[in-house]
Amino acid sequence: MDENVEDVRRRQFLKLSGTAGLAIALGGFGTPAGAAVPTALQPNLCGSDTDSKGRFVLWDRAKACGDAYKNPKKPTPPQYCLIGGKRDVVLHGGGSTTHDFLLVPTTRIKGIECPLLLSDLGRQYWEDAWNYAQPGAGPGAVSFPAGQLALGVNAAHTTGNPPKPVRKQDQLHIHMAGIPQNVVNQLKPITSGVQQWRSTILDVAFGGGTYALRGFRATSFNENFFKLLHDEVVKPAGEDMATQMIVVTKAGGNDWYVLNSNSAVRGPNNTGGTSTCDRILVYK
């Protein structure tokens, strides 16, 4: 395992050890003091390396790929490892189209709620996904003539009581997919920067419905969108990182639209939000 990753893991463990450490760590994720702790915010935020099968099949595959990439004897990785390295790997999504790929860390990271993503690892995963998805970059390149490339991450669960699971696999995966052009066209009103992310909300029609999305216009892709979401939206609003979804796509020039929502967000017309990126992205 990368020494920097292990160091972050160790520091997070120390934070989460004991009552005081647990309160600090959970409070940093927008959980008010004394509030009930959602399932995804229990101390096992990132999962265990020994998790396997069922909801951890993606982890089984990413770990096998990572073990091969890290082995100095350079064994042939399993066939499902499309392209990657020691940090992460590209796998097929649920289909066989040219716009359904997944960037999966080779480090155990359960999902968006894992504090490791607030370190520079989070930025690196977005950067790797974008680079692997570029035309000519290899077997993970995304082609979607009806729109353009987009990256997305699902929430762990909805904001309901009881919460409903959103993702089907408990290993972080950034969807490398397509986004329809008519959806991109509706994002043009988003012109403000990250400081206005929480307050910039618009109703966008996609996936057979209309949903409330928060968004900002990033002038650089060299950002950790997980950390920005936590610092600029989740923490100030007292929300739960585990309920958040993110979508990133090109806005034109050197700018990107960065979108976020969850099932409790409300739009200008009291339209509901969504904790899934699956509705806005196109896989089939």
Please give the C-alpha separations between residue 268 and each of 162, 212, 236, 272, in angstroms, as whole numbers: 26, 8, 20, 10
CATH code for the domain in which residue 214 is found: 3.30.428.30
Span 6-48, pLDDT tens digits = 444 444 433 433 323 322 232 333 333 333 444 444 458 999 9
Q: Which domain holds residue 254?
A: 3-261
Q: How confident is the model at residue 96 (pLDDT cuts 50, 70, 90)?
A: confident
Mapping DSSP to helix (H, G, I), strand (E, B) and coil, where does residue 137 land? coil
CB 277 within 8 A of CB 149: no
Predicted confidence (pLDDT) at residue 56 exceeds the cutoff of 50: yes
Give me the pLDDT at residue 95, please: 83
Going by C-alpha positions, the residue among 105, 99, 96 that lies closest to residue 58 is 105
How many of the other CB atoms lie within 10 Å of CB of 213?
A: 26
As a whole-number percent, the residues of the chain with pLDDT over 70 amount to: 85
Going by C-alpha positions, the residue among 172, 162, 160, 74 that lies closest to residue 128 is 172
* pTM (global) more than 0.75: yes
Span 129-155, pLDDT tens digits = 999 999 999 999 999 999 999 999 999
CB 213 within 8 A of CB 82: no
Predicted confidence (pLDDT) at residue 227 exceeds the cutoff of 80: yes
Q: How confident is the model at residue 161 (pLDDT cuts 50, 70, 90)?
A: very high
Domain count, the chain: 1
Would residue 96 count as lying in a domain? yes
**Alpha carbon distance 67, 77 (integer Å):** 8
Mean pLDDT of the chain, nearest integer: 88
Would residue 272 count as lying in a domain? no
